[in-house]
């Protein structure tokens, strides 16, 4: 068995930061054949945290701009209907076509995201959506609008799967969950809040066409910023695929049982997409027609949707990490809450505007929580198959299959049925999603349990070998003056942080390795003199 300290394979002449040691099989048991341990491990973790946050923020801004160039059509839908004198059904064709092309594009970008550099796909998507948003107001015909927005939907699909691929390659565990909830929740919901706040002002001052010109400019600037900033941030982060056992490209093959499970999860995602985007698209119209409000005011009422979405996504992430680890069980519970809020909306029947808006916002927030579970967390479990980007695109495409069906379906139903009737349909749909999610939660638990057990065993083996090696030969670690100063600073920072947040036993367990490292480096420094 070989223990490699440092990056990569151990060279013949071990350098300043490399140390090779032969360990007996008895000392490591059934651990991994090669374990990589760096003397910079303590410091690297701290540095990685910083750059992981920077990467998450950069991806969040990209997704923010993506939603800015997507949801703007829904925000000005009422103005398009009034200015062009077309029906709601005709106006919704562009949204439906965009959702379908987005779903197809998710499959395409997901496939290529596993084979080419994902950041280039994101760059191409930003440029394309900038062009489509710029030219859409220049054409007045319904056919041209549908065609342009269809292309825009395909361009939008070039964002999410590559971003998931990037985050999966550079983060794991709690870091990945926090990064994805930041991107999916704050990026999409923040853009929604921005659109619903700014669009009425732009419409009032410059007209509805200026909303698209503004979004086009933002996407163009973001494409340039992405190609400048991403390589710098990405170069500071280690690729953790080797630590996951996937760096050698020897992936497992999916079984038929796994394929059936994915198909059932896809149905649940279709249900959640029909509720999420159906309500998001038609809420301004619902408020305007039910309570006889101006279009600007109805657009502003939509601000509650992303606010509830952010809150629900954060709560879902917290509950999933601390209490309910099974994402399908968690989704089933959230579907039940959405069914209750939709039932309340149907019973209100347009009697109270604030209560109706809150019920709509709560239902949408629940769907964003499910979106985080099924489209952000589920693809991580397919790392061992080498299909993270593809599964992400596949699952996310199902969201927009439901979106396309509900957007056009609601437009047809509003011609003959009341909004209370539609709210009742939403309640039944959410209940169906709850039944399906709860039914497959046990099978999903078995599928993910194997991965978790293997990961836990691997981490335990790494910790055992690292501790044995540190006890055997910590004095042989060579360091520089810079490394020594960093060690002391990190030890002091860790002590100040943990003293107020951890128990005395936990404090001892966390800071003692840092303290030993600092002391040994002091000894080494004076010995070199």
- Residue-wise pLDDT for 450-467, tens only, equals 545 555 665 665 556 555
> What is the C-alpha to C-alpha distance for residues 61 and 66, in angstroms, rounded to an integer?
8
Tell me: do 28 and 103 sit in the same domain. no
> What is the C-alpha to C-alpha distance for residues 157 and 227, in angstroms, rounded to an integer?
18
Smallest CA-to-CA distance from 189 within 98, 106, 299, 280 is with 280
Cα–Cα distances in angstroms (integers) from residue 79 to residues 89, 91, 96, 435, in the given order? 14, 10, 18, 39
Using DSSP's 3-state secondary structure scheme, residue 322 falls into: helix
Give the count of alpha carbons within 13 A of 56, CB side only: 22
Taking the CA atoms of 18, 460, 471 and 526 in sequence, report the sign of the dihedral they define.
positive
* pLDDT for residue 295: 62
**Residue with more model confidence, 513 or 341:** 341
Beta bridge partners of 5: 19, 37
Smallest CA-to-CA distance from 373 within 336, 335, 320 is with 320
Give the mean model confidence (pLDDT) for residues 213-227: 93
- Express each pLDDT in 388-412 by its tens digit: 778 888 888 888 788 778 877 887 8
> Does a structural domain hold residue 463?
no
Tell me: do 77 and 168 sit in the same domain. yes
Percentage of the chain surpassing pLDDT 70? Answer: 71
Question: Mean pLDDT of all residues in the chain?
Answer: 75
> What is the C-alpha to C-alpha distance for residues 123 and 223, in angstroms, rounded to an integer?
6
CB atoms within 10 A of CB 353: 15
Phi, psi of 35 (to 5 degrees): -120, 130
Beta bridge partners of 36: 4
Tokens of 110: 């997901």
Tokens of 282: 């038609």
* pLDDT for residue 123: 93
Tell me: do 29 and 48 sit in the same domain. no
β-pair type (34-37, 19-22): unpaired
For the full predicted model, state whether its pTM sits above 0.75.
Answer: no
Give the mean model confidence (pLDDT) for residues 1-8: 38
Tell me: do 348 and 483 sit in the same domain. no
> Does a structural domain hold residue 245?
no
DSSP 23: -
> Does a structural domain hold residue 456?
no
Tell me: do 273 and 321 sit in the same domain. yes
Tell me: do 49 and 19 sit in the same domain. no
Smallest CA-to-CA distance from 185 within 317, 346, 82 is with 317
Rounded to 5°, the CA angle 437-441-443 comes to 125
> What is the C-alpha to C-alpha distance for residues 526 and 529, in angstroms, rounded to an integer?
5
Phi, psi of 329 (to 5 degrees): -65, -45
Give the mean model confidence (pLDDT) for residues 40-47: 40
Tell me: do 234 and 313 sit in the same domain. yes
* Overall residue count recorded for the chain in this entry: 529
With both helix axes pointing from N to C terminus, report the angle between 419-439 and 353-371 in degrees, rounded to the nearest 10: 30
Phi, psi of 478 (to 5 degrees): -100, 140
Cα–Cα distances in angstroms (integers) from residue 205 to residues 140, 200, 208, 209, 476, in the given order? 21, 9, 9, 11, 70
Q: Domain range spanning residue 521? A: 477-529
> Does a structural domain hold residue 460?
no
Give the mean model confidence (pLDDT) for residues 294-303: 66
* pLDDT for residue 38: 39
Using DSSP's 3-state secondary structure scheme, residue 22 falls into: strand
> Does a structural domain hold residue 78?
yes
For the chain, how many structural domains are there in total?
3
Q: Where are the beta strands (DSSP E) in 16-157?
A: 19-22, 34-37
Report the run of H or E that residue 505 belongs to, with start and end.
helix 504-528
Tokens of 299: 């657009």
Tell me: do 55 and 7 sit in the same domain. no
Tell me: do 23 and 52 sit in the same domain. no
> Does a structural domain hold residue 250?
no
> What is the C-alpha to C-alpha distance for residues 186 and 195, in angstroms, rounded to an integer?
13
Tell me: do 33 and 75 sit in the same domain. no
Tell me: do 267 and 388 sit in the same domain. yes
Smallest CA-to-CA distance from 4 within 41, 36, 47 is with 36
> Does a structural domain hold residue 246?
no
pLDDT at 222 over 50: yes
* pLDDT for residue 527: 55
> Does a structural domain hold residue 519?
yes
pLDDT at 1 over 50: no
Is 95 exposed, middle or buried, given 0-12, 13-18 or 19+ CB atoms closer than 10 A?
buried
Tell me: do 145 and 8 sit in the same domain. no
């Amino acid at each position: 068995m070989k223990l490699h300290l440092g990056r990569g394979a151990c060279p013949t002449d071990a350098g300043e930061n490399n140390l090779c040691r032969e360990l007996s099989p008895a000392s490591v048991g059934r651990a991994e054949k090669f374990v990589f341990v760096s003397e910079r491990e303590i410091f690297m973790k701290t540095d990685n945290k910083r750059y992981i946050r920077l990467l998450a923020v950069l991806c969040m801004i990209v997704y923010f701009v993506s939603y800015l160039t997507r949801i703007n059509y829904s925000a000005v839908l009422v103005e398009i209907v009034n200015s062009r004198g077309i029906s709601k059904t005709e106006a919704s064709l562009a949204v439906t076509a965009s959702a379908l092309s987005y779903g197809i594009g998710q499959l395409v970008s997901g496939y290529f995201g596993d084979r080419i550099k994902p950041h280039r796909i994101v760059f191409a998507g930003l440029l394309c959506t900038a062009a489509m948003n710029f030219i859409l107001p220049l054409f007045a015909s319904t056919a041209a609008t549908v065609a342009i927005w269809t292309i825009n939907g395909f361009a939008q699909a070039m964002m999410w799967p590559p971003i998931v691929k990037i985050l999966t390659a550079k983060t794991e565990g709690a870091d990945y969950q926090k990064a994805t909830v930041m991107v999916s929740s704050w990026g999409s919901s923040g853009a929604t809040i921005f659109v619903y706040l700014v669009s009425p002002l732009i419409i009032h001052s410059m007209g509805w066409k200026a909303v698209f010109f503004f979004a086009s400019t933002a996407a163009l600037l973001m494409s340039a910023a992405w190609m400048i900033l991403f390589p710098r941030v990405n170069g500071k982060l280690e690729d953790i695929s080797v630590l996951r056992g996937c760096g050698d490209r020897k992936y497992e093959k999916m079984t038929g049982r796994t394929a059936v499970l994915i198909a059932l999860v896809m149905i649940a995602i279709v249900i959640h997409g029909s509720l999420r985007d159906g309500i998001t698209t038609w809420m301004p119209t619902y408020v305007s027609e039910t309570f006889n409000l101006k279009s600007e005011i109805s657009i502003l009422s939509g601000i509650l949707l992303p606010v509830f979405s952010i809150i629900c996504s954060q709560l879902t992430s917290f509950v999933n990490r601390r209490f309910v680890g099974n994402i399908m069980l968690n989704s089933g519970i959230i579907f039940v809450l959405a069914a209750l809020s939709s039932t309340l909306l149907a019973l209100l029947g347009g009697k109270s505007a604030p209560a109706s808006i809150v019920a709509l916002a709560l239902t949408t927030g629940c769907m964003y929580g499910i979106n985080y579970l099924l489209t952000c967390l589920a693809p991580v479990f397919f790392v061992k198959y080498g299909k993270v980007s593809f599964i992400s695109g596949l699952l996310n495409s199902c969201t927009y299959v439901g979106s396309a069906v509900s957007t056009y379906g609601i437009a047809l139903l509003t011609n003959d049925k009341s909004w209370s009737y539609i709210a009742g349909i939403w309640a039944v749909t959410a209940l169906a999603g709850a039944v399906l999610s709860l039914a497959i939660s046990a099978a999903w638990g078995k599928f993910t349990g194997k991965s978790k057990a293997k990961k836990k065993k691997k981490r335990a083996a790494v910790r055992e070998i690292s501790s044995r090696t540190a006890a055997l030969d910590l004095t042989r670690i060579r360091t520089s003056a810079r490394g020594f100063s960093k060690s002391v600073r990190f030890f002091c920072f860790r002590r100040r942080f943990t003293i107020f947040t951890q128990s005395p036993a936990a404090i001892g367990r966390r800071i003692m390795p840092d303290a030993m490292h600092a002391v040994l480096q002091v000894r080494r420094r004076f010995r070199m003199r």
